[in-house]
Amino acid sequence: MIETRHDGMGRALLFDIDGTLADTDPLHLKAFNQVLGPHGHVFDHARFSLELQGFANVAIGERFLPHEAPERRAVILEEKEEVFRTLVAGQIAPLPGLMALLDRADGAGIPMVAVTNAPRLNAELLLSGLGITHRFKALVIGAELPHGKPHPLPYQEGLRFVGASPRASIAFEDSRTGVQSATAAGIPTVGIRTSLSHADLVGAGAVASASAFDDPTLLARLASAMAW
């Protein structure tokens, strides 16, 4: 159940980007295989969702490129991001119902924040490609903070930017690390089932899950929680 206690602070909607605003995970999987394949790592969807999805590149480099110097890891993983940006260009489509939800939140005066572990270039490319950069009061990049997801800090920063109460807000996430980050920050979190199942998302801490933003159950929950 999503609570709506305001604690003297405002409401907010906080969104992950990859796999939440747009279903980009298949392209990330392809890019990881292209770049990490020569290093002996091949990923299917199940392994991607467990070992790559939602993790920051520093953590991915430490795990899968342990014999490389940190500087070399960064170069290899930036190559992966360049491959991804090439693959995704011109293919960025919003999840069903996203634009209507953003319109509704804007109309109700509820601020929105994007919170991601993705590099800034990727995040800005996706928001721009969707035509929604102006919708967000802040863009929080986990790699630019002392701790990224699954630490709560990225979502705590998102709340701070807009002066919102965690219990009066809602986060949307598609990965285990993202759900863990948002819930650790005290935000009721809805899992978006682009890659993971309802059981996976709820197991990570989500209060509910939805197939997309046009899910009738999700819309009813939001109408109640946000009082719009």
Q: Token digits for 50? A: 């467990």
Q: Which one of 18, 23, 25, 215 is the catalytic residue?
A: 18
Asked if residues 205 and 183 have their Cβ atoms less than 8 Å apart, the reply is: yes
- With tokens 């807009």, the residue in question is 162
Q: Which one of 7, 16, 103, 200 is the catalytic residue?
A: 16
Cα–Cα distances in Å, from 125 out to 90, 120, 132, 164? 10, 8, 11, 26
The rounded distance, in Å, linking the Cα atoms of 166 and 33 is 37
Question: For this structure, is 16 an active site residue?
Answer: yes
- With tokens 């159940």, the residue in question is 1
Cα 98 to the center of its chain, rounded Å:
14
The rounded distance, in Å, linking the Cα atoms of 216 and 201 is 19
3-state helix, strand, coil in the chain (%, to 5): 50, 10, 40
Residue type at position 25: D
Active-site residues, by number, are 16, 18
